[in-house]
Amino acid sequence: MNIYSPAAFETPGPSTGPAESGKGGLSEFFRYHGFWAPGVRLFRAIGFKLKALIIAVTFLVPIAFLAWTHFAGEARQIASSAREHQGVAYGNKVMGLLPLLVRSRVLAVEEADAASRNEVRTSIAEHLTLLADEEKANGDALGTGKAYGVFVTAVEAADKAVGDAPAVVARHTAAIEALLGLLDASTDGSNLTLDPDIDTYYLMDASMTRLPAMIEAIGKLQAEGSGLRASGKMDPERVSALTSGRHELAVYAKALENGLGKAVARTPALAATLDVAQTRKALLQFTSSIDRALYGADPTVATAVPEFIALGDHAIDALVALETAATGELDALLAARSSRLVRERDITIAVLAASMLAALYLFVAFGRVLGGGMREIAFHVDAMREGDLTTCPRAWGADEPAQLMFTLSEMQQAQRRMVGQMRVASDAILGASSEIASGTGDLSRRTEMSAANLEETAAAMEEIAATVKGNEQAVDEATKLALANARTAEQGGEVIGRVVHTMESISEASGRIGDIVGSIDAIAFQTNILALNAAVEAARAGEHGRGFAVVASEVRALAQSAAASAREIKGLIGTNLEQVDAGVQVVRQAGETIGELVGGAKRISELLGDVASGARELSIGVNQTASAVQQLDGVTQENAALVSEAAASVVELKGQAQRLASEVARFRLTPDTVVRRAG
């Protein structure tokens, strides 16, 4: 469901029983939004800043966890590379002792002179000092303490070894094996044996495993050769040892070339530094000398053994040179890896920091845009609520607040047009009602005057009736009263003339009242149409137009009431006109009768015999005239009452128009939107 649909704003009613707090309450909770109900309800209850904080924390927690995991892994890799670097440094110190110990064992077997042995012993002591310093600096980190103690003990035992040659060789061999064990411990403790890269792993394997083993293998062959030369004969056990040692050396050499070949394949630049061909040549010369000593046509111990011992020293030097080169390359690659890891870590930190700063910047910008847009919209809505339509919402951009601002601007323009039209209509109604009230007041006064005149006419007709009756009773006095009767008849003619004039004025006033009532009916019709248009515009405005709808409904009701009253007045005025016309005819007849009476008065002396008959006829006509005048007086009184009621209705309509004008005047419009009244 769209969260902006009308149903989305419905709120379930409060729980009324245990059933609603159970399964029914849960279904009611998910009624409108289903799966999204918890999130929708949560965000409905909090403001924008708290919403943004929740969303930001939701994203930042996994990002922080992933960043911490990534940086922790990089830190471990950097620390591992640093430890491998320490292992290479430690291995260099250990490897510096290996050729010396091998040489010391050969000298011990050959029982060389003291000067040579002291020179080797001094070199060993110097390297032991360097190794001791290295052990002191990195031994705890590499975990070589135990292996170092075993090695130092074995070296001291080998240095003090005395007795037969096998025992001395065994002591020196034990020292070399302890040295190789110390080398293994340093490589294991520094994680060199777990190196993840192919080139560095095989360089480590060559410099820390293969080459030391080959040097020791050559040293053992030299020791066996020295023992062979010391005995002066081809001892089968020594020959077997030389044969197996040569085979072992060949196996080591093959494994060494394979490992270095893999390292060079991964990093071709190593081929220029690692002189494998020179080492292979030296090893081939050494193994060939062993073959000549063992399988020559005329093997002579005295000449063959010294040759392969010397070539063994040359092969050891070549291996040491290769080991030094491999160790240097290994150290350089480890340093490059550490630098690369540090650089990658720094780049990652920089990118992450830049991304976080950019996200923060965009987040703040988003908050400012949304918050500012909402504040601007609230400002204009508050102004419209207070009746101020002079503000001008300006929508810029293409986001939701801009679209809402654009809609608000269109709604404000529609309200301006509607209020302007209502203001013009209210002014027109107010002016028309004022004019109607003034005209109705004048009509009321004139109607009252007409009523007074009719009362006078009725009184005169009563007098005429009494006179006629007197004439009937005083026929004998007709002669005496003829002249008075003529004068009375003349007065009656004048009164009847005034009555005729008055009745014509009443007829004209009634016609004017009909025209005014028609104007009232037209104004009420126009007011009804304007109120209907205002109600339509208010319906389009929605919630904000509810007040206008109420005002429009009241105006429409007043207009309909005024129209109904106008129609009633118009009907009554029509009836009044008919009655007035009838009264005019009657009064005219009375005038004619009075004229005849005047003529008869002049001829009274001649027509006295006819007085009685004329008097009877006059009595009948006067009675009829009196009755008509009385009826006309009643109708006029009724017209006066209706005019008073119409005046009261018009006054009420004027008050309603004034209230409507004051309600519409509450709105302030810009000068360019004020609608001028036509005419």
Residues 252 and 217: beta-carbon distance below 8 Å: yes
Predicted confidence (pLDDT) per residue in 486-538, tens digit:
677 677 777 777 777 777 777 777 777 777 877 777 887 888 788 778 778 77
The sign of the CA dihedral 448, 450, 456, 461 is negative
Percentage helix, strand, coil for the chain under 3-state DSSP, each rounded to 5? 90, 0, 10
Better-predicted residue by pLDDT, 414 or 346: 346
* Confidence category of residue 162, pLDDT binned at 50, 70, 90: low
- Answer whether residue 401 shows pLDDT above 50: yes
- Answer whether residue 372 shows pLDDT above 60: yes
468 contact partners, CB below 8 Å, separation of at least 6: 615, 618, 619, 622
Predicted confidence (pLDDT) per residue in 598-657, tens digit:
676 667 656 555 656 666 676 677 677 767 767 777 777 777 677 777 777 777 777 777
Q: Closest by alpha carbon to 323, among 103, 93, 122?
A: 93
pTM > 0.75:
no
668 beta partners? 388
Q: Closest by alpha carbon to 227, among 214, 240, 212?
A: 240
Distance in angstroms (rounded) separating the CA atoms of residues 41 and 657: 48
The sign of the CA dihedral 151, 157, 160, 165 is negative
Distance in angstroms (rounded) separating the CA atoms of residues 628 and 97: 158
Residues 650 and 396: beta-carbon distance below 8 Å: no
- What residue segments make up the domains of the chain, in order of their start? 1-45, 66-354, 431-673
The reported pLDDT for the residue numbered 613 is 66
Distance in angstroms (rounded) separating the CA atoms of residues 121 and 119: 5
* Confidence category of residue 7, pLDDT binned at 50, 70, 90: very low
Q: Is the CATH number of domain 431-673 3.40.50?
A: no
Predicted confidence (pLDDT) per residue in 538-569, tens digit:
777 777 777 777 777 877 788 778 778 777 77
Distance in angstroms (rounded) separating the CA atoms of residues 221 and 241: 8
- Answer whether residue 679 shows pLDDT above 60: no
Task: Find the angle CA(580)-CA(585)-CA(589) to the nearest 5 degrees.
Answer: 140
Distance in angstroms (rounded) separating the CA atoms of residues 304 and 290: 8
Distance in angstroms (rounded) separating the CA atoms of residues 540 and 550: 14
Comparing 125-129, 225-229, 271-275, 555-559, the range with the smallest average pLDDT is 225-229
Mean model confidence pLDDT for the chain: 78
| 221 C-beta neighbours (distance < 10 Å), count | 25
* Confidence category of residue 13, pLDDT binned at 50, 70, 90: very low
- Answer whether residue 49 shows pLDDT above 90: no
* Confidence category of residue 112, pLDDT binned at 50, 70, 90: low
Residues 139 and 148: beta-carbon distance below 8 Å: yes
Q: Locate 496 and state its tokens.
A: 């009847």
Q: At what angle do helices 211-231 and 276-295 cross, to 10 degrees?
A: 30
Classify residue 22 as exposed, middle or buried by CB count within 10 Å of its CB (0-12, 13-18, 19+): exposed
Predicted confidence (pLDDT) per residue in 285-304, tens digit:
888 887 777 766 445 555 56
The reported pLDDT for the residue numbered 16 is 41
The reported pLDDT for the residue numbered 4 is 41
- Answer whether residue 411 shows pLDDT above 70: yes
- For 653-664, what is the mean pLDDT? 72
Q: Identity (one letter) of the amino acid at 333?
A: L
- Answer whether residue 136 shows pLDDT above 80: yes
- Number of residues in the chain: 679
